[in-house]
Amino acid sequence: MELWSSPLWYASYILVLLGLSGYGMHRLGIVYLYLKHSRKKPEPLRRFEERPLVTVQLPVFNELHVVDRLLDSVAKIDYPKDKLQIQVLDDSTDETTDICRAGVERLKAQGFDAEMIHRTDRTGYKAGALENGTKFAKGEYLFILDADFVPNPDVLEKTIHYFSDDRIGMIQTRWGHLNRTFNLLTRIQAMFLDGHLELEQTARNRSGRFFTFNGTAGIWRKSCIADAGGWEHDTLTEDMDLSYRAQLKGWRFIFLKEVETPAELPVDMDGFKSQQHRWTKGSIQVCKKVLPAIWRSNAPIYAKLEATAHLTSNFAYLLLICLCFLIYPNQHAAPDFGPLTYYIVNIPIFFFASVSVIVFYVTAQKALRPQSWWKEVPYLPLLLALGIGMSINNAKAVIEAIFNHQSGFVRTPKYGIEHKKKRSDWKKSSYKAMKTLTPVVELLFGFFFLFVVVEAALDGRWPASILLLPFPVGFFYTSVSSLARLLPSGREAGDESA
């Protein structure tokens, strides 16, 4: 017990919680900025009398389940055909290429100016495909859509007129969710993304802070991309990288939360993990690349501070992992400073580290679903648990970025699953996310925290037991959901035996 009784354990525990509380305070700051500025809806400087030429860029890599849906939805966009160019930027290595080729011919037969640009060398991955496609883009405005998106017909009519202001370099629309209610994972993902898109992006943009292109469902001015140095592929989040470089050049961006562009969410845990790993690692890479330039810029101090909080926010996963190792010794040998000090220290930390997360996501749901937001409240404990469960996967991504470990752009498998449309065969798809040993580590963490929770309950420390319950739930959820994919389903086994 002497090992645990060192004041260093308790001091480290408090420092980690203070770090997490700092990011919690940042969330509350975002909520405040959102409530203060969300009604400042931007308006176009004027409307174009003649619609400008727009190039729709569709970067595709092995998307056989969704690419036809994408092309059909693009064909329905309400915009003059003679002012629309469609580029399918295909890097595929499977039958997706044939589907794209047939789809482009179908678009041409409908009178569209459509072309397919196929690369056999995936240099730069998505950024490389966009960089290559932009060389052949006829339009000054580039509407980028990932393969799993389904744009609404009026999306260009609601966005293009903002470019009448020559200072505007990019317009981002808010993502919607085609399959939000498909399963528990998609529901929780939707809540995560709603918080980012509805609250963070709106608050940052409308309060004069930096904000970033989300990689898709946005329109760029081609000259803005060129002025910022073009698409670069030295990070896994080329969208965030280009966004900061463009804004540092003085370009203005607009986020239109009122314009929704629906997309498909990953339906399996492995796909979600690979997506989160890429986003987390890429954001730290961008942090290392552009944060010094941000602080050397003439941006207001409040914008620099918010950009710092934004770019470093994923370091919170390292703090969360440290917390996992500090909870047990703190439960057994925390020094007793008396009840007053206990409440002075612990209640503010708990509020900023945990309650702030709940306030953040409830505010987002109330804004998006004012009549039914309360139906999402029961999922909040699971959202907290999933955030904890993802800490190992995402902390690994942070460490890889810190030590410059190179990894390729791993696509997130999508299966063409829409709202309440369950495809029974999606598990049999040849598209699988990359397998790692992370689920095994998560499983071990799950058993450890199950022991910690049970021990606290047996000792009569019920508050600690309840507050720690999201830890085993989160780790078991992320680990078992991944490990279950390794087992063949009954149907698959039957198919093989046949």
Q: Is 91 a catalytic residue?
A: yes
C-alpha to C-alpha distance for 158 and 138, rounded to whole angstroms:
21
Place of tokens 């400042």: 40
The Cα–Cα gap between 168 and 453 comes to 53
Distance CA 408, CA 399 (A): 16
The residue annotated as part of the active site, out of 68, 90, 194, 239, is 239
Q: Are 204 and 211 in contact (CB under 8 A)?
A: yes
- HSE-up (13 A, CA, CB side) for residue 405: 11
Cβ contacts of 119-127, under 8 Å, gap ≥ 24: 119/89, 119/90, 119/91, 122/61, 122/91, 123/233, 124/231, 124/233, 125/61, 125/91, 125/233, 125/408, 125/409, 126/59, 126/61, 126/215, 126/238, 126/409, 127/231, 127/232, 127/233, 127/238
Report the distance separating Cα 179 and Cα 68, nearest Å. Answer: 17
Per annotation, catalytic residue among 68, 90, 91, 146? 91
Name the residue among 240, 254, 245 with its Cα closest to residue 204: 254
Residues in CB range of 252: below 8 A, 6 or more apart: 165, 167, 168, 169
**Cα–Cα distance, 305 to 343 (Å, whole number):** 30
Residue 448: partners with Cβ closer than 8 Å, 6 or more residues away: none
Contacts 24+ apart (CB under 8 A), 344-347: 345/14
Token pair, residue 346, equals 């612990």
- Residues 6 or more apart whose CB falls under 8 angstroms from that of 422 comprise 182
Determine what percent of the chain falls in helix, strand and coil, rounding each to the nearest 5.
Answer: 60, 10, 30
> In which element (H, E) is residue 119 found?
none
Tokens at 61, concatenated = 């890599």
Active site residues: 91, 239
